[in-house]
Structure 1
Amino acid sequence: MNFRGLMLKSAAFGALAALMISAQTVAADVSAEPQEHGANQQEFVHGAPQLPSLEWTLAAGGRIYDNWWEALDRPAPEAINPAYPVSAEQKGTGTWRCKECHGWDYLGAEGIYRQGSHFTGIKGVMGMRGRPAESLMATLRDGNHPYTPEMITDEEMLRVATFISEGLTDMRAFVDYETRTVIPGAGDFTRGRAIFQTTCAACHGFDGRAMDWGEGEAHNFVGTEATELPDEVYNKISNAHPGAAMINMRAFSVQDRV
């Protein structure tokens, strides 16, 4: 496939379009080791501002939804979540992640997790979108969500409730659920390239390959993840990766993230 073909394939996302193109067109020998954040960034990663904006709260709640112990710098649970279905396939610590039952797309058994190794049969949280955050707290503390205040405090859980109430995006507008790929034409490649080059590239590099999560010859860059797991990467773009000194795009429009 030529570069124009790659661009047309990738243009479905704004902020992700440049990532997907760089993942497929740049030689693999330019990768570098991921940078670790220093002590001076600890407050940004795990702390909270004195006057949190709605955008900060949504992103913070989204990171807890993703992986709460990494987001909050808490010990990871070791045993399987007692509320996790015994018929489902996942084991151990990962069963405590909200996304594990409700999905990256928030649709649970009706979404991308309707089949495969992450299927639980549990419904998503999209139906709670728009409800007052305070009214969701009782559900988030019921027997199906056995998170103690030592795991997630009430203040932190309210961030999750706010995220569910006001921070969810219906990804069916830009992700093909049969193929788990982006829908061509759903975003603005030129706008996405501008955003990536002026923000994300500070850590990921202009080619998207300054960080490599792969092992050996199996490279795994932010662009390859954007191509293979667009629903997950949309969450990371919107909220940042839990426990990492990563910016998020909550202050940007949904269209800029899509």
Structure 2
Amino acid sequence: MKKLLTRIATVIIFSASMSTIVQAEEASVIARGGQLYDKWFKVIDAPKPADTHKAWPASNTKKKGDVTWRCKSCHGWDLRGKDGAYSKGSYKTGIKGLQGVAGAPLEEIITVMKDDTHGMEGMMNEQDYHDLALFVSKGQVDMSSIINPDKSVNGDVAKGEAYYNTICAGCHGKDGKLPRDLAAPLGKIVSSNPWEGLFKILNGQPKESMPAMRALPIDVSTDILSYMMTLPQK
């Protein structure tokens, strides 16, 4: 009886370990889907769309061309569209967010991507559609519970410093000013747009070696962002 219980316990532990591995692997696919959401044509090495997307609202004259083909341009880094950070500013479109399709079957999401409104039919291969749909269905994060309206972040700066210095500083430098081709120091980037900062920490940067924190507890990404907000902005 004792041997049987030991074997059962071993099976349970093994099954739990395998479940964790499967979840982690799914997290890597979700992170890739997040990068497709960010800039799909860069991820798959496709030519940049030349024309402004036909569904881009005429009321927004501040953006045109390939940027209007990025999912994040309409639905936001927080995926909340008109009800989130893009309720104002240069990316204001009046387009709704994607909270309503969280948990939806991937086939339904893919069908919408390929419909006449989104016009993504033939733009990517089936694996790309799958990964992007998985991100939309299972990868949404409630950023409103992490980032406040005043752009402050509900994280632990001290823990974030330790995470940043061991995970991020090797490429970005302890002051957040690397690599040299950054548009601005990280401190300025995330202070201006913490929603983008959290998105990139979770999912990585398209076609870059930046690690994605997606498989780790969300607190890790939140704490990293909190610390990055303290980095030099000049």
For the aligned pair, the TM-score class normalised by the smaller chain equals: 0.7 to 0.9
Tell me the equivalent position of 2:109.
Answer: 136
Q: Look up the equivalent residue of 2:93 and give its one-letter code.
A: T
Structure 2: runs of 5 or more not aligned: 1-23, 223-234
Tell me the equivalent position of 2:124.
Answer: 152
Q: 1:206 aligns with which of 174, 187, 206?
A: 174
Q: Look up the equivalent residue of 1:245 and give its one-letter code.
A: S
Tell me the equivalent position of 1:82.
Answer: 54
Deviations 1:61-112 (A, max 9, x none): 0001001111111111101111212222211111000011101110101111
Q: Does the C-alpha gap of structure 1 residues 257 and 214 become closer, same or farther in structure 2, counting only changes over 3 Å? A: closer
SS at match of 2:29: helix
Higher-helix-fraction structure:
2
Moved over 6 A (4+): none
RMSD value over aligned CA atoms?
Answer: 1.6
Q: 2:152 aligns with which of 182, 205, 216?
A: 182
What is the TM-score when the length of structure 2 is the normalising length? 0.80
RCO greater where, 1 or 2, for CA within 8 Å and sep 6 or more?
1
Tell me the equivalent position of 1:161.
Answer: 133
Number of equivalent positions? 198
Q: 1:122 aligns with which of 85, 88, 95?
A: 95
Deviations 1:129-182 (A, max 9, x none): 122223321112111211132x211210111110011111111112223x3x12
Q: 1:244 aligns with which of 208, 220, 227?
A: 208
Report the Cα offset of residue 212 of structure 1: 3.9
What is the TM-score when the length of structure 1 is the normalising length? 0.73
Report the Cα offset of residue 214 of structure 1: 6.0
Structure 1: runs of 5 or more not aligned: 1-51
Identity of aligned residues (%): 35
Distance in 1, matches of 2:89 and 2:176, equals 29
- Does residue 191 in structure 1 map to residue 155 in structure 2? no
SS at match of 1:199: helix
